[in-house]
Amino acid sequence: MKLVPALLASAITLLTMQAASAHEYDGLMKAKKYAEAEKAANAKLSTDANNADALLVKAELILAEGKLDKLDEAAKYAEQCVSAHPQLSECHEMLGNVLGTKATSGSMFAAMSYAGKIRDAFIKAVELDPKNYSARSSLLQFYLQAPAIAGGGKSKAQNLVIETAKVNSAAGNLLQANVDLADDKFASAETAALSAIPGNTESLINMQRNILYSIGANYVQQKKYSDAERIFTDLQQRFPAKYQGAFGMGRSLQEQGKHKEALSWFEKAQTLDTNAGIYYRLAQCLQAVNEKPKAISYFEKALSFKPALSKKLRADAEEQLKALKV
């Protein structure tokens, strides 16, 4: 059985890729103008210490930049938001996000100790705003992956899907796709995800993009490359301004040893977004095609970027960089 850290890793990864809730600083956050967002939030808090948008973005900034040493500070901002605005769904959702990140960065004991608070925060967020679909998505991941002793359970997940479908059919389909994917029912997950019509609801658009990418990534892991590339092609067509389709295509080709072809897709992904993962994959491909100086440059970029690579990828990047510099 998967334990709480695995649950929270997937849930929080999803939430940090997309702003969980719109707020005054949303545009700056999407543009990754983090310094500007922080300056504006600080100015607001200097005159209005309990301003909800400013408190939310202060916590979100810590998560977005991967500042694990400041998670206690982020928790204080979220808790202050909840205390000052107990009826605001976004404050409870942010508290769940922050506590989830704290859980994944700590010990198993710490993760278990936070589980109830994380679950309750997402439940409250949904209760206060039934159309807070990102909170519903996080709650679903909790139910799917947390052990029963921590409040998880497949039946709870399925009940949430049913309840969500009553609020919005597209949201229900997208949550069902996550349930199917957790059961390794890839074809069913794909059908459910593609049948969703998110309309202009940004959180649902983000959910559809993320679940389709996850399905494609699972196909890559299963070495079902034609299926993966079909999904990633669809992603590019549906979301041409987002990097996931191009990045996924690069990953599929890279796994097949087609490094030159993969390189062009990672380069395309880089024109659409910047993150440590793109730099890392670019470096790998450049290393494979014997572009040593460029590979060194991109491994260094991957290692310096925030949020940082996972521990496993970071260790590999450091090892490859060391070898390249010999």
Residue 178 domain-assigned?
no
Average pLDDT of 216-233? 97
pLDDT digits (tens, 9 = 90+) for 16-66: 444 455 678 999 998 889 999 999 999 999 999 999 999 999 999 999 998
| Rounded alpha-carbon distances, angstroms, from residue 197 to 6, 17, 86, 193, 228 | 29, 21, 32, 9, 21
Residue 25 domain-assigned?
yes
3-12, 97-106, 248-257: least confidently modelled range: 3-12
Residue 188 domain-assigned?
no
Q: Which residue has the tokens 């925060």?
A: 121
Whether residue 307 is preceded by a cis peptide bond, meaning omega within 30 degrees of 0, is yes
pTM as predicted: 0.89
Whole domain around residue 129: which residue ranges? 1-157
Residue 208 domain-assigned?
no
Task: State how many domains the chain has.
Answer: 1
Residue 172 domain-assigned?
no
Residue 312 domain-assigned?
no
Check residue 24 and give its pLDDT: 83
- Specify the long-range contacts of residues 179-186, CB closer than 8 Å, at least 24 apart: 179/140, 179/144, 179/154, 181/211, 181/214, 181/215, 181/218, 182/144, 182/145, 182/157, 184/218, 186/215, 186/218, 186/219, 186/222, 186/224, 186/227
Q: Where does residue 97 rank: exposed (0-12), middle (13-18), buried (19+ CB within 10 A)?
A: buried
Residue 87 domain-assigned?
yes
Q: Where residue 150 sits, what CATH number does that domain have?
A: 1.25.40.10
Tokens coding 310:
């996972």
Residue 64 domain-assigned?
yes
